[in-house]
Amino acid sequence: MQQGYQRKRRRPVAEINVVPYIDVMLVLLIIFMVTAPIVTQGVKVDLPQGAAEALPADSKPPVVASIDADGDYYLDVGSSSTKETLDLEEIATRVAAIIQLEPERPVVVKADRTIAYEKVIQLMVTLQGAGVPSVGLMTDSPEE
């Protein structure tokens, strides 16, 4: 009667449907692309790649913008050092004039170790607004 007729058995399919995972991954990618520029805000600083090196001896004397322990600002321009307290606008005006005359002149920030980080950032932003392309940080040599 029913010779040679065998019923085919269905085997379970062992596949994972990856379409929902791809959708989730694309949504996460869009979220990260939108939030990444918001997270990376700050002041651009050229950090050294290794141990700090002194300025070359043949370079022009640097413009040194200083902050003392009381939070007062000073400006030292090579041979003409001023002991008068300056505000950020005066520093910006003087540094902008110096950079306009001598664009290759290095500019460094010298701050007391007890000063608030915010004061140093304010000074660096002021120098950046005055046209300084990069600012160095002055440090003491470690005592061995």
Q: Is residue 56 part of a domain?
A: no
pLDDT of residue 52: 58
- Examine residue 41 and state whether it is found in any structural domain, yes or no: no
Angle at 124 between CA 107 and CA 132, to 5 degrees: 45
Is residue 89 situated within a structural domain? yes
pLDDT number for residue 29: 94
| Residue 99's CATH number | 3.30.420.270
Decide: 127 and 90 in contact? Cβ < 8 Å. Answer: no
Per-residue pLDDT of the chain (144 residues; tens, 9 = 90+): 556 666 777 887 778 888 889 999 999 999 988 887 766 544 444 444 445 566 666 667 788 888 888 888 888 876 655 567 788 888 889 889 988 888 888 888 888 878 888 888 898 899 888 888 888 887 766 654
Expressed as residue numbers, the domain containing 129 is 63-138
Instruction: Match 């651009």 to its residue by tokens.
Output: 44
In a domain, 118, yes or no: yes
Say how many domains are in the chain.
1
- Say if 35 falls within a structural domain: no
* Residues ≥6 apart with Cβ < 8 Å to 60: 78, 102, 104, 105, 106
The Cα 114–Cα 119 span in angstroms is 11
Q: Can you tell me the distance from the alpha carbon of 73 to that of 110, in angstroms, rounded to the nearest whole number? A: 10
Q: Would you state the pLDDT for residue 25?
A: 94
75 φ/ψ angles, rounded to the nearest 5 degrees:
-130, 130
Whether 90 is covered by a domain: the verdict is yes
Say if 133 falls within a structural domain.
Answer: yes
Could you give the CA distance from residue 73 to residue 45 in angstroms, rounded to a whole number? 20
